[in-house]
Amino acid sequence: MDQIREQIEALRRQLHEHNYNYYVLSQPVISDQEFDRMMAELISLEKQYPEYADPNSPSVRVGSDINKSFTQVPHRYPMLSLQNTYSEGEVTEFYNRVKKSLNEDFDVVCELKYDGTSISLIYEEGRLTRAVTRGDGQKGDDVTANVRTIRNVPLILRGEQIPPYIEVRGEILLPWSSFDELNRERAAQEEPLFANPRNAASGTLKLQDSRLVASRRLESYVYYMLGESLPTESHFENMTLARRWGLNVSSAMKRCHTLEEVFDYLHYWERERRNLPVTTDGVVIKVDSLVQQRNLGNTSKFPRWAIAFKFNPERAVTTLKSVSWQVGRTGAVTPVANLEPVLLSGTTVKRASLYNEDAIEALDLHIGDKVYVEKGGEIIPKITGVDKEARSLPGSRVLFTPNCPDCGTPLVRNEDEAVHYCPNSEGCPPQIKGRIEHFVTRKAMDITIGPESISLLYDKGLIRDAADLYTLRFEDLARLERWGETSARNLLQSIERSKSVPYERVLYALGIRYVGETVARRLAHAFPQIDRLMDATEEELTAVEEIGGRIAQSVTAYFANPVNRAFVERLRAAGLQFTLSEEALAGRSEKLQGLTFVISGTFALHSRDEYKAMILQHGGKNSGSVSKKTDYILAGENMGPAKLEKAKKLGVKVIDEQTFLSMLR
């Protein structure tokens, strides 16, 4: 008996932990499938042994995503979830159960199960009045302001038969392309990466700054309608109408009359989903008739008229050889698993992300373990579990390194952050080298020197930071192993040229946290002289368009540090630009005020970056993808055909370089 009790309690502990990883850290360490399996095991044990009931068991709680800073509002109709299955047999059982209890003819509707974050949209008199997250199913966060920024959520419905009050349920997603772009930016800023588009979508929806939300290109898909007076008694018909009203209803929705058709649908999308722009993790099968839905009713958690069939994620088993630690330019230390190479969805996987200490602990990882790696939706494969039974002689337990792997300094972990940092930013070689590498990148100072040479110059004691580049002497360089006079001359020339790099790029080169290219440009224009920026207060900074509290704090913290101020002074003494050029100042105009541009293709007269800068300088906006809000596409050679087609469809004007330049004259 005691053994059962222990088993139940262990499952609860683990599920609580996984809930936390999933909802709070947004960094799940096991697959959904594994989670569902554990939950099913717990539920079945609890049913069998009711004497061990616990009101706080994870089985009675649906993960909550409530955020203190949003207003909570109750759902008029609770947001239920769906019964999940991975087995086709259970789909058949579901179908037969429905058939038996209805005892009449029925249709089912098959839809894709979109893997994002769920949302409830309320339309009153055809106007979007509120958007609420799922929360705990009974009440959620009011995220209306953020949802209003999502391009394919209509603010006003158009057309006929629109009821005075409806709630539309759907999913908010971040398409793959935007997800990759977002993570690339985050990698460049050394911010932690989002594990998958779902976490990125839910994280984005909870941002305080809805402008930032808007920049991330979320999308919505709606799949359900509620209300007192719906237009028809068919789910399929209602969704078809919803599509006409302007809501984004997936075109993959299909009404089926037989179980065979249902399976055809499952098999078709199991393959085809790979070609979709967003993540899906299964198929939802719903009874079409609302009358029949009501007759079937709900359990406390699930409707009896629907089931979700989940696709199997692609997974492989391999051996954990070792764990290494990487130190980035901000000092963040990330664990990386080195694996016995294994083939997974067409690529060989040798390394996997381990995220942080909590993730490692949750896995109870030992060297030599047989581990499961998955690539379901992730860019970097991740370890989702350990085959503990295969562990005969466990290797040493993987513990988070207490000291910096490079400089030995004890690592620090902030209270409510999962990340470990090496605090020795002034003396830790990979941090210093990383900052220099950032300083010389093309979009920053554009100095032609690679990481190996930076490392060499650092190790030889010729540079201790980026400012030292400007004191390098020809004799020292030419003497270096395998360098010679040509390399030395080239580097010095490149360094010399960097002195004319404009102020905004110098600002970006400093590597201030959260100050990417665009932010640097904004700051340079708002504070055309570095001294003004160095003394700016947080209030002055946040007054600038697109500069939020997080950036403002980071900028003031950077300039509050005397080491950084001294660094700027040395760069200034070397002759770098710390004032917005006369041209940039004089060249500023409002000619493109209110216009949004998408740049696509390659150009002959200026680089893409130069065009981006020009657009900003003249008051316009840059955007990454074509939408109804796009005014112009600035098209070069080889513009993508998808973009061109979309532009045609939306009636967006496509202009070439010459036309663009003439707009500025």
CB of 221 to ligand IVH, least distance (A): 7
Nearer to ligand IVH, 281 or 374 (CB): 281
CB of 262 to ligand IVH, least distance (A): 14
392 to 431, contacts with ligand IVH by CB under 6 A? none
- The 3-class secondary structure across 612-654, one letter per residue, is HHHHHHCCCEEECCCCCCCCEEEECECCCHHHHHHHHHHCCEE
| Closest C-alpha among 617, 585, 618, 444 to residue 517 | 444
Print burial letters for 164-193: b (CB count within 10 Å at least 16), e (below 16): eebbbbbbbbbbeebbebbbeeeeebbbbb
> Cα–Cα distance between 626 and 654 in angstroms, integer?
11
Dihedral sign from CA coordinates of 151, 156, 157, 158: negative
105 to 134, contacts with ligand IVH by CB under 6 A? 111, 113-114, 118
Select from 78-86, 180-188, 525-533, 605-613 the region that touches ligand IVH (CB under 6 A).
Answer: 78-86
Residues ≥6 apart with Cβ < 8 Å to 417: none
Applying CB under 6 A, which of residues 171, 190, 374, 517 lies at the interface with ligand IVH? Answer: 171
Nearer to ligand IVH, 270 or 540 (CB): 270
For residue 311, state whether it binds ligand IVH (rule: CB under 6 A): no
Q: Do residues 31 and 385 touch, judged by C-beta distance below 8 A? A: yes
Q: What is each CA distance from 394 to 316, 341, 352, 360, 401, in whole angstroms?
A: 20, 20, 20, 16, 19
Nearer to ligand IVH, 83 or 564 (CB): 83
* Structure tokens given for 370: 């047989």
CB of 172 to ligand IVH, least distance (A): 9
Q: Is 377 left (phi over 0), alpha (psi -120 to 50) or beta?
A: left
CB of 243 to ligand IVH, least distance (A): 14
Nearer to ligand IVH, 284 or 411 (CB): 284
Q: What is each CA distance from 395 to 313, 322, 339, 403, 579, in whole angstroms?
A: 28, 10, 14, 21, 58
> Cα–Cα distance between 589 and 593 in angstroms, integer?
8
For residue 517, state whether it binds ligand IVH (rule: CB under 6 A): no
Nearer to ligand IVH, 284 or 584 (CB): 284
For residue 660, state whether it binds ligand IVH (rule: CB under 6 A): no
For residue 643, state whether it binds ligand IVH (rule: CB under 6 A): no
> Cα–Cα distance between 419 and 602 in angstroms, integer?
39
| Closest C-alpha among 461, 459, 509, 462 to residue 488 | 462
Question: In the stretch 247-286, what mask flags binding to ligand IVH with x, by CB under 6 A?
Answer: -------------------------------------x--
177 to 236, contacts with ligand IVH by CB under 6 A? 223-224
Nearer to ligand IVH, 277 or 408 (CB): 277
For residue 372, state whether it binds ligand IVH (rule: CB under 6 A): no
Select from 5-13, 56-64, 77-85, 397-405 the region that touches ligand IVH (CB under 6 A).
Answer: 77-85
Pairing of the two strands 332-344 and 165-173 = unpaired
Select from 302-310, 335-343, 355-363, 450-458 the region that touches ligand IVH (CB under 6 A).
Answer: 302-310
What angle is formed at CA 146 by the lines to CA 548 and CA 278, rounded to 5 degrees?
Answer: 110
Applying CB under 6 A, which of residues 62, 225, 306, 447 lies at the interface with ligand IVH? Answer: 306
Q: What is each CA distance from 99 to 83, 103, 104, 260, 305, in whole angstroms?
A: 17, 6, 7, 14, 11
For residue 240, state whether it binds ligand IVH (rule: CB under 6 A): no
Chain residue whose CB lies nearest ligand IVH: 118
113 assigned to active site: yes
CB of 283 to ligand IVH, least distance (A): 8
Nearer to ligand IVH, 66 or 418 (CB): 66
For residue 308, state whether it binds ligand IVH (rule: CB under 6 A): yes
Which amino acid does the sequence have at 412? V
| Closest C-alpha among 560, 621, 551 to residue 191 | 551
Strand partners, 309: 85, 283
Catalytic option among 68, 100, 113, 628: 113
Nearer to ligand IVH, 135 or 381 (CB): 135
Nearer to ligand IVH, 304 or 370 (CB): 304
Kindly determine how many residues on this chain lie close enough to bind ligand IVH according to the rule CB under 6 A: 15
> Cα–Cα distance between 210 and 70 in angstroms, integer?
12
* Interacting residues toward ligand IVH by CB under 6 A: 80-82, 111, 113-114, 118, 169, 171, 223-224, 284, 303, 306, 308
Q: Which residues are catalytic?
A: 113
